[in-house]
Amino acid sequence: MQARIAKLPYLPTIAPQYHDADDVEEREEAMSTLAALPKMLPPGPRESSRRTALRQVDAPDLSQYSPISASGYFVQAMNVKIESRGIEVRAYYSPPVVQDPAASDEPTTVMVCHHGAGYSGLSFACFAKEVVEHSKGECGVLAFDVRRHGKTRPLEGQSDENLDIETLTEDLVALLTTLFPDPNTSSTLLFVGHSMGSAVCVRACPVLQEMHYKISGVAVLDVVEGSALDALPIMMGLLDSRPDGFPSVEEAIQWHINTHTLRNPFSARIAVPSIFVQSPDSNSAHEWVWRTPLRSTAPYWTSWFKSLSSKFLACRTARLLVLAGTDRLDKELMIGQMQGKFQMEVVPDVGHMLHEDNPRKIAQVLVEFWKRNERVVIGVKKVGEL
């Protein structure tokens, strides 16, 4: 598979224009701890039903919320069957470009992006395109749908219900060792985890290092262990205010924008369709329902965020924490910051989905982090190496 991927042509990218919403109120901190939910791009329309007929009466113009294909944001989408994990993973990949084709041993780097609970790999679509542009193709991007999210599916006779942290970590390690089977020839990996995905990345990092993979850094996007754990008791109450579904994908996109769950309409039109599926119940009040209802993930919340700070600080690589606004650091991170154990960036005017709200800025931060630590001058310590 690696050989096939290496032969993929590089597609130059043109960054879309992003328009940030002006003076948008910050979302409640507790709600930003987790995420909205995901499933696949919408299939073709069903046969007409009573719900559809009712919706056609005085239906508003929702063309500005119509879904946008993600095909131009990654070089390829692929399904990776992992027999040992009982799943077929949907992955999206833009491989790094070797600047000198004659230098077959030229080192390359791939950012491995792990989404948060309820989202999908397509939440990194706009970010991936920006990374390719800002790195001039030198840094690749791999994003994927975790089990029970997006287009990732269980193999026949298998279950994908378990979302505990150990299972998710083993899934990530299995995916990477499948795509890059030889650590000696593998690209250097740079982990980018959003919310729940951060917990997986900081646990997978030492496992892969023990297997002799090169890890140039771990970036944690908008999650602090203390704040996350403090918010969990009120999460169910906040989830009760969310709709159980929508009459159309366009209305789901509109809801995400109007509630400021996502502040970038362009990214919302790419990513939101992947977190919904058509309801299997023809008598349901909603034609489109969440792919991964967050209430169903409640048993795993504590395991995701417990010990996140200590494991982040223990990673034997460069460390970066990117926050949306001035989130309160817990004691462990505050001490670590004073000791210079990690780099921290605070990005203004974004919500919890900061890599969707302002993909250009987050890509700039991550590419600079990569340049500083992967292409560091010999003798100069990396961020966190004290």
The catalytic site residues sit at: 195, 222, 352
Q: Give the chain's end-to-end CA distance (angstroms, integer).
A: 38
Q: With 0-12 CB in 10 A as exposed, 13-18 as middle and 19+ as buried, what is 289?
A: buried
Are the CB atoms for 89 and 321 separated by under 8 Å? Answer: no
For tokens 């298998």, what's the residue? 158
Q: Which two tokens stand for residue 197?
A: 């995905």
Distance CA 310, CA 298 (A): 23
Q: Which parts of 39-108 are beta strand (E)?
A: 76-82, 87-94
Tokens of 344: 């921290």
**Distance separating alpha carbons of residues 212 and 183, to the nearest angstrom:** 6
Helices 165-179 + 196-210 axis angle, to 10: 50
Q: Is the distance from CB of 367 to CB of 134 less than 8 angstroms?
A: yes
- Name 383's Cβ contacts closer than 8 Å, sequence gap at least 6: 217, 318, 319, 320, 342, 343, 369, 372, 373
